[in-house]
């Protein structure tokens, strides 16, 4: 009898809805979980003819599940303090790779394995762009991201040194003023370079000399002395630019010869040494060398660039997290473990960097929470429960009618 099939279809659909709600509630604390909703549609209608006005007489034959849609709205961002945790604010997904297949996920509860690979909680590689000399190649292919765990960054010899100094315009001829700048050679050894300024007999002129402590460079220094000329306003006019070609050969520790540039101008082209009627003083020193250092950790910026940190205080970009988008989020299929697979219905994964296109920004040391709203789910649960009960009551009613019909022939 079709009477029974109608409420049975409702029971089947309501059972699916209850399963969906139960799954949402069970994932209240699942990282970046996206809640789902079961949607119904009616089945075809039986037509028993038409009335006097020609209108069709139709009777429905039940319901079925039309779709299970996913709510991809943003979940709250929760700081965790774990540097390998990443959260997306806005559109897009992290891209992971499992056995050569790219998957999408909003769950950024990543971690490092023993060799420094950035992986998901299930061990999938997090994909992104590699970096060379501190610059991420965002136009290159996606590669598994890794951090230089246990690596040592080589020392960098100082190539530029300088100081922001005011020289006393009222000083008498022969007055000297000195300031020190710590610089590094190619082995990472520190040397205390001394900048010595001596007031000349000529107005608005000072000579300078750059020296290292005795015995640290046994060769004869090259181009380490010169003259500074200021105008009547105390602005340096000569040299007109930075002084290159300064050399300290034959370092005692066996490092390569030190070749440095004396920076007299800042990046804006403004002189950093002035001459005014005020006590000679140094406001800042600068140099660009550093000692060697070992890897100590990493952080990520809003664009997903990964900065490795070393014990010498240096940081370097070692990769950039990729963010993928698809044309139709609802077309994605669940792959388990908080991941999705692209399908013909979703369109292909288009990788890019955070903050571009429709891709959101990245927050490090944080996770996106589940977007399931418990009050909404409880309300949906009551509705689904009542619908199930109503369909069950319809079955018992049809059963009673059937029994009464059979009893008529006795």
- pLDDT at 65 (0 to 100): 86
Most distant pair of Cα atoms in the chain: their distance = 137
pLDDT at 2: 55
Within 10 angstroms of residue 83's Cβ, the number of other Cβ atoms is: 17
For 261, residues 6+ apart whose C-beta sits below 8 A from its C-beta are 159, 160, 161, 242, 243, 244, 245, 246
Give Cα separations from 290 to 111, 186, 190, 264, 285 (angstroms).
30, 9, 8, 21, 14
Predicted pLDDT of residue 300? 97
**Token pair in block for residue 160:** 């530029």
Name the one residue in this structure whose structure tokens are 């996913």.
70
Q: What is the structure's pLDDT at 57?
A: 74
Element spanning 165, H or E: strand 160-168
How far lies 203's CA from each of 209, 275, 293, 335, 352, in Å?
19, 11, 47, 80, 60
| pTM (predicted TM-score) | 0.81
Task: Return d(Cα 354, Cα 299) in angstroms, integer.
Answer: 15
């006590």: which residue's tokens? 279
33-66 residue pLDDT tens: 999 999 988 876 666 667 777 677 767 677 888 8
Q: Enter the DSSP assignment of 378.
A: H
Query: Look-up: residue for tokens 């610089």?
Result: 183
Check if the beta carbon of residue 205 is closer than 8 Å to that of residue 198.
no
pLDDT score for 46: 67
DSSP code for 409: T
| Per-domain residue ranges of the chain | 2-72+374-407, 77-148+322-368, 160-287
pLDDT digits (tens, 9 = 90+) for 107-163: 999 999 999 999 999 999 999 999 999 999 999 999 999 999 999 999 999 999 999
410 residues of the chain, pLDDT tens digit each: 556 778 788 788 888 999 999 999 999 999 999 999 999 888 766 666 677 776 777 676 778 888 899 999 999 999 999 999 999 999 999 999 999 999 999 999 999 999 999 999 999 999 999 999 999 999 999 999 999 999 999 999 999 999 999 999 999 999 999 999 999 999 999 999 999 999 999 999 999 999 999 999 999 999 999 999 999 999 999 999 999 999 999 999 999 999 999 999 999 999 999 999 999 999 999 999 999 999 999 999 999 999 999 999 999 999 999 999 999 999 999 998 999 999 999 999 999 999 999 999 999 999 999 999 999 999 999 998 898 888 788 778 777 777 767 777 76
**CATH number assigned to the domain with residue range 160-287, chosen from the 4 options 3.40.50.12280, 2.60.98.20, 1.10.8.60, 1.20.120.1200:** 2.60.98.20
Centre a 10 Å sphere on the Cβ of residue 207 and count the other Cβ atoms it contains.
14
160-168 and 258-262 strand pairing:
parallel
């Amino acid at each position: 009898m079709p009477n029974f099939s109608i409420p049975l279809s409702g029971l089947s659909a309501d059972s699916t809805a209850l399963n969906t709600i139960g799954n949402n509630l069970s994932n209240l604390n699942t990282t970046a979980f996206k809640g789902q909703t079961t949607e119904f549609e009616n089945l075809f209608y039986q037509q028993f003819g038409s009335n006097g006005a020609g209108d069709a007489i139709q009777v429905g034959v039940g319901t079925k599940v039309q779709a299970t849609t996913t709510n991809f709205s943003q979940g709250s961002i929760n700081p965790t303090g774990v540097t390998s945790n990443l959260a997306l604010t806005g559109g897009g997904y992290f891209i992971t790779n499992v056995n050569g297949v790219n998957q999408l996920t909003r769950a950024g509860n990543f971690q490092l394995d023993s060799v420094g690979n950035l992986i998901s909680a299930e061990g999938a590689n997090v994909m992104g762009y590699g970096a060379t000399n501190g610059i991420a190649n965002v136009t290159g292919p996606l590669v598994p991201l890794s951090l230089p765990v246990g690596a040592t960054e080589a020392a960098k010899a100082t190539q530029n040194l300088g100081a922001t100094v005011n020289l006393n315009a009222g000083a008498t001829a022969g007055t000297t003023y000195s300031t020190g700048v710590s610089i590094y050679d190619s082995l990472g050894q520190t040397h205390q370079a001394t900048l010595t300024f001596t007031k000349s007999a000529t107005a608005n002129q000072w000579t300078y000399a750059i020296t290292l402590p005795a015995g640290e460079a046994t060769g004869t220094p090259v181009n380490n002395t010169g003259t500074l000329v200021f105008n009547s306003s105390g602005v340096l006019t000569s040299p007109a630019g930075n002084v290159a070609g300064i050399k300290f050969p034959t370092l005692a520790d066996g490092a390569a010869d030190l070749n440095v540039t004396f920076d007299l101008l800042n990046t804006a082209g403004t002189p950093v040494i002035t001459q005014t009627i005020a006590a000679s003083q140094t406001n800042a020193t600068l140099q660009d060398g550093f000692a060697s250092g070992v890897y100590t950790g990493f952080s990520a910026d809003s664009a997903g660039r990964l900065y490795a940190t070393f014990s010498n205080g240096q940081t370097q970009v070692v990769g950039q997290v990729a963010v993928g988008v698809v044309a139709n989020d609802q077309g994605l299929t669940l792959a388990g473990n908080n991941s999705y697979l692209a399908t013909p219905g979703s369109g292909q994964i288009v990788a890019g960097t955070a903050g571009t296109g429709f891709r959101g920004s990245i927050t490090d040391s944080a996770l996106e929470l589940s977007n399931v709203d418990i009050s909404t789910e409880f309300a949906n649960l009551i509705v689904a429960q009542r619908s199930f009960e109503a369909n069950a009551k319809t079955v018992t009613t049809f059963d009673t009618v059937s029994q009464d019909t059979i009893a008529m022939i006795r």
